[in-house]
């Protein structure tokens, strides 16, 4: 899925490290730095390999975090292989990862919300301008100068930002999040992208107890959507092309499972949904799901099909239906989501892997061979 908007001026930002310096070293910046172990890719075809990068020493407002777990998002794979080059070109070397769980090791003198030893998290953003209308409204994800956790311009060290496939990260306090202590940390990591990507549109469109909610696609995003809709008290219907996913959908919280290729099953639900979350990235008949919406119903797309979807006007006009898109949430909403997960014990279903198996995990991700997200145990990086 597409995790954030990129301002036009960000394209073409490059970093060319000196051959004798760790990745990220820069002569023109005067920021104090330290070396950190990481996994990076040098090209679209090189795969990820062990390296060292530079991290800045914490400034007054910074929090330094030892990374314990980092989830693997499909956008990591897209970025490493430069598959979104038309609108989000990759700058190499790249250190991906934006589903970060860790423990605070050091804080700047002006930091008030965190102290060493605290559990902390970092999601898809590490900075924004803080002054635009979007930032002032708590919608940092729409800031025209938003800085992504990886592959965005690094205003401190030059080059680009490096993500969570690393032993540590340093982030402005405003973009650091609290993790409820009762959550399994490995399973909580995907909440920082997959979690907020599915929670945010449900929050925005008012999914509550008694609403009828559909989830299209039962993968990394879809399985989180089922869990959230169920925890919010909705009647949850999962749409899948795979009859063998029925049992798992019910286990995750679905009240009903519909095989979308069965026209009779689909017809039974026509005009009855308050909200549908579509997490499918392959081309598909979106109109089949729009027709399931009731009056004022909403279908939100969080998958990113490569080709435009055909949306007949009268499917929307006839019942004042809404067709929209969504990405991640702002910092306040992401914290709200994490707190909700703590109260309702919501986490992702994960397979924990060592960092040394990350390239194998990418290949499995392409085959949908995971239930439902990979989470990297970053302790494995210590042996590199």
What CATH number is given to the structural domain containing 95?
3.90.180.10
Q: What is the pLDDT of residues 93-102, one digit of tens each?
A: 999 999 999 9
At 134, is the secondary structure helix, strand, or coil?
helix
Q: What is the pLDDT of residue 10?
A: 28
- Does residue 105 carry a pLDDT above 50? yes
* Residue 342: half-sphere exposure toward Cβ, Cα within 13 Å: 12
- Does residue 128 carry a pLDDT above 50? yes
Are 284 and 359 contained in the same domain? no
Quote the pTM value.
Answer: 0.91
Q: What is the pLDDT of residue 31?
A: 78
Residue 343 located in a structural domain: no
* Residue % of the chain over a pLDDT of 70: 92
Residues spanned by the domain of 145: 8-193+348-383
Higher pLDDT, 6 or 122: 122
Residue 340 located in a structural domain: no
Are 210 and 308 contained in the same domain? yes
- Does residue 108 carry a pLDDT above 50? yes
Which range among 8-17, 82-91, 217-226 shows the weakest confidence by mean pLDDT?
A: 8-17
Helix (H) or strand (E) holding 290: helix 286-290
Distance CA 177, CA 121 (A): 5
Q: What is the pLDDT of residue 251?
A: 98
**How confident is the prediction for the chain on average, in pLDDT?**
92
What the block records as the tokens of 177 is: 């999040």
What the block records as the tokens of 92 is: 């190499």
Torsion-angle region of residue 248: left (phi > 0), alpha (psi -120 to 50) or beta?
alpha
Are 21 and 159 contained in the same domain? yes
Q: What is the pLDDT of residues 276-301, one digit of tens each?
A: 999 999 899 999 999 999 999 999 99
Q: Which of 277, 293, 325 is the last residue of a domain?
A: 325
- Does residue 4 carry a pLDDT above 80? no
- Does residue 104 carry a pLDDT above 50? yes
Residue 2 located in a structural domain: no
Are 310 and 363 contained in the same domain? no
Helix (H) or strand (E) holding 351: strand 350-354
Residue 175 located in a structural domain: yes
Q: What is the pLDDT of residues 30-64, one digit of tens each?
A: 579 999 999 999 999 999 999 999 999 999 999 99
Are 151 and 234 contained in the same domain? no
Q: What is the pLDDT of residue 144?
A: 97
Distance CA 251, CA 171 (A): 37
Q: What is the pLDDT of residue 23?
A: 55
Q: What is the pLDDT of residue 30?
A: 55
Are 361 and 284 contained in the same domain? no
Residue 3 located in a structural domain: no
CB 296 within 8 A of CB 322: yes
Q: What is the pLDDT of residues 203-258, one digit of tens each?
A: 999 999 999 999 999 999 999 999 999 999 999 999 999 899 999 999 999 999 99
- Does residue 350 carry a pLDDT above 90? yes
Give the Å distances, CA to CA, from 112 to 56, 126, 138.
Answer: 20, 18, 19
Are 149 and 254 contained in the same domain? no
Are 252 and 376 contained in the same domain? no
Residue 339 located in a structural domain: no
- pLDDT bracket for residue 3 (50, 70, 90): very low
Distance CA 108, CA 63 (A): 6
Work out whether the CA dihedral 111, 115, 116, 119 comes out positive or negative.
Answer: negative
Which range among 76-85, 159-168, 195-204 shows the weakest confidence by mean pLDDT?
A: 76-85
Q: What's the mean pLDDT in 76-105?
A: 95
Are 161 and 208 contained in the same domain? no
Are 277 and 167 contained in the same domain? no
CA dihedral 68→72→78→79, nearest 10 degrees, is: -10
Residue 88 located in a structural domain: yes
CB 297 within 8 A of CB 322: yes
CB 189 within 8 A of CB 71: yes
Residue 330 located in a structural domain: no
Are 77 and 121 contained in the same domain? yes
Which range among 23-32, 168-177, 258-267, 336-345 shows the weakest confidence by mean pLDDT?
A: 23-32
Q: What is the pLDDT of residue 5?
A: 32
- Please, what is the angle between helix 331-344 and helix 194-204, to 10°? 100
Whichever domain contains 314, its CATH number is: 3.40.50.720
State how many domains the chain has. 2
Torsion-angle region of residue 239: left (phi > 0), alpha (psi -120 to 50) or beta?
beta
Are 251 and 352 contained in the same domain? no
Higher pLDDT, 28 or 273: 273
Q: What's the mean pLDDT in 125-133?
A: 98
């Amino acid at each position: 899925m597409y995790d954030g908007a990129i301002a036009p001026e960000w394209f073409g930002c490059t970093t060319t490290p000196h051959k004798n310096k760790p990745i990220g070293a820069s002569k023109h910046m005067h920021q104090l730095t330290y070396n950190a172990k990481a996994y990076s890719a040098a090209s679209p075809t090189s795969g990820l390999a062990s390296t060292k990068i530079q991290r800045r020493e914490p400034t007054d407002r910074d929090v330094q975090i030892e990374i314990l777990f980092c989830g693997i998002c499909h956008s990591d794979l897209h970025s490493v292989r430069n598959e979104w080059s038309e609108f989000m070109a990759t700058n190499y070397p790249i250190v991906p990862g934006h589903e970060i769980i860790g423990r605070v090791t050091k804080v700047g003198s002006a930091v008030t919300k965190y102290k060493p030893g605290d559990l902390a998290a970092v999601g898809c953003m590490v900075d924004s301008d803080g002054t635009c209308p979007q930032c002032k409204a708590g919608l940092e994800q729409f800031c025209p100068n938003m800085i992504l956790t990886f592959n965005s311009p690094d205003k401190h060290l030059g080059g680009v930002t490096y993500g969570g496939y690393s032993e540590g990260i340093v982030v402005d306090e405003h973009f650091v999040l609290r993790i409820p202590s009762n959550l399994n940390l490995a399973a909580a990591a995907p909440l920082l992208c997959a979690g907020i990507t599915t929670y945010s549109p449900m929050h925005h469109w008012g999914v509550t107890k008694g609403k009828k909610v559909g989830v299209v696609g039962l993968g990394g995003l879809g399985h989180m959507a089922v869990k959230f809709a169920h925890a919010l008290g909705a009647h949850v219907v999962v749409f899948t092309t795979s009859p063998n996913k029925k049992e798992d959908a019910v286990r995750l919280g679905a009240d009903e499972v519909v095989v979308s290729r069965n026209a009779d099953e689909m017809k039974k639900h026509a005009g009855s949904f308050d909200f549908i979350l579509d997490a499918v990235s392959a081309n598909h008949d979106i109109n089949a799901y729009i027709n399931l919406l009731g009056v004022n119903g909403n279908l939100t797309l969080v998958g990113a099909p490569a080709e435009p979807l055909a949306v007949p006007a009268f499917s929307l006009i006839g019942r004042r239906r809404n067709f929209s898109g969504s990405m991640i949430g702002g910092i306040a909403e992401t914290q709200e989501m994490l707190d909700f997960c703590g109260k309702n014990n919501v986490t992702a279903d994960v397979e924990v892997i060592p960092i040394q198996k990350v390239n194998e995990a990418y290949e499995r991700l392409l085959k949908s061979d995971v239930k439902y997200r990979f989470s990297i145990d970053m302790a494995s990086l210590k042996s590199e």
